[in-house]
Structure 1
Amino acid sequence: MGNKPPSKVDPKILSPKAIQMLKANTNFTEEQIREWHVGFLRDCPSGKLSKDRFIAVYEQFYPSGKAKDFCKYAFSTFDRDNNGTIDFTEFMLAIALTQSGDLDERLALAFDMYDFNNSGLIDTNEMAKVISAMYDLIGEKDRKGEREPKQRAEEIIRICDVTGNKKLSKEEFIAGCKNDPIIRRLLVPNA
């Protein structure tokens, strides 16, 4: 009695509440948010960005690389509600964070992408897989010696691991990236 089932929100409609939330959590103006929304709907008429479409967009930006593995990690980071698609709000928060978020926020987002098993720690295998995916994305072929993903991951963890457990917490990852410009450029190129 009196209990209404939750109403479904149409992903194609940009509500005033969504605009206010995005204005409060990004540096975008209402006009910019509306412009992004028009473009988002042009590219994603359903109001949802699928993983396949996400990969296709990345492939346009990195034509000489292979985007699939990198996109697998990035997509799951941006799909905050884990429903298999990225809606406009998730998209805008991701854009804002990757373009203009402060360094700590951007590094925290990168950590979340590396920690794909959501354990709260990054181990050598997780880091090596993402480094390999990043190499694929940019078309990097030289993976020998110190450039080999597992060796590179072990070295980064050795440098940043304060606790000695051979894994990185979010705090260790952020501090390590902030203190070592070479590591930061490798792990978070746009930071």
Structure 2
Amino acid sequence: MVFKTDMGNSNGLTVEELQACESYHWYKKFMTECPSGLLTFYEFKKFFGLRNLSEASDAYIMTMFKTFDLNNDGFIDFMEYMAALSLVLKGEVQQKLRWYFKLYDIDRSGCIDREELLMMIKSVRAINGLPSEMSAEDFANMVFEKIDLNGDGELSFKEFVEGVQSDDTLRKTLTETLDLTHIVQKIQGDMMSNS
């Protein structure tokens, strides 16, 4: 496969060469923003343009940071960063649901309770600034009514995954709510304008 440049000239780049070029731009952006090669929580927030957040939103971002910090060393290195980008941009539904569950399970108990879900919904809405027809409380109640099959007030991983996969409305809402591609696209735009 051959791709054309903006000028219409054939540049003969293969898909692999384009992916390598894209990886180079991500690496350049990462190293420009984080010369040490290790992204701290503060740098993570700066990197994604997340400033002046409420306490709840800041807690959500910290949880997100910890889910991307695969080796739990308190930093995100370039490989962890690329794994996170790959998940956000190209991950399969099952992979994203596993990540969403991990993100919502703030206390790492293996279950999501109503308070955890409510806090995450409020935080995500505050960060994304997306309008919603339903209050965060009503949405959390709807989620539990639909997928807390045993009625224990907690969502196990199995209940969460099976419930979200079997309900188009929940799947669509959760996917849109936690969609970070708009942030990634902004970064890509910044990278291309600085090239």
Shared fold, TM over 0.5: yes
Alpha-carbon distance between aligned partners in 2 of 1:38 and 1:179, rounded to the nearest angstrom:
41
Show the counterpart of 1:55: 45
Query: Gaps (5+ residues) in structure 1?
Result: 1-27
Show the counterpart of 1:163: 150
The CA deviation at 1:29 is: 4.8
Show the counterpart of 1:74: 64
Go from structure 1 to structure 2 and tell me whether the alpha carbon gap of 1:135 and 1:121 turns closer, same or farther (over 3 Å shift). same
**TM-score normalised to the size of structure 2?**
0.70
Q: 1:99-138 residue pairs with structure 2 within 5 A?
A: 99-138=89-128
Alpha-carbon distance between aligned partners in 1 of 2:59 and 2:65, rounded to the nearest angstrom:
10
**CA distances 1:116-159 after superposition (whole Å, capped 9, x unpaired):** 1111110001000100101111235779xx41x23421220221
Counterpart of 1:163 in 2: which secondary structure?
coil
Counterpart of 2:95 in 1: which secondary structure?
helix
Go from structure 1 to structure 2 and tell me whether the alpha carbon gap of 1:64 and 1:182 turns closer, same or farther (over 3 Å shift). farther
**Quick one: which amino acid aligns to residue 129 of structure 1?**
M
Q: 1:18-97 residue pairs with structure 2 within 5 A?
A: 29-30=19-20, 32-59=22-49, 68-97=58-87
Percent identity, aligned pairs only? Answer: 28
The CA deviation at 1:30 is: 4.9
C-alpha contact (below 8 Å) 1:110/1:188 kept by paired residues: no
Q: Are 1:150 and 2:137 counterparts?
A: yes
Show the counterpart of 1:175: 162
Matched residue count: 159
**Quick one: which amino acid aligns to residue 47 of structure 2?**
V
Alpha-carbon distance between aligned partners in 2 of 1:141 and 1:120, rounded to the nearest angstrom:
30
Alpha-carbon distance between aligned partners in 1 of 2:122 and 2:138, rounded to the nearest angstrom:
11
Query: Gaps (5+ residues) in structure 2?
Result: 1-17, 181-195
Match of 1:98 among 88, 94, 104: 88
Report the aligned-residue RMSD. Answer: 2.8
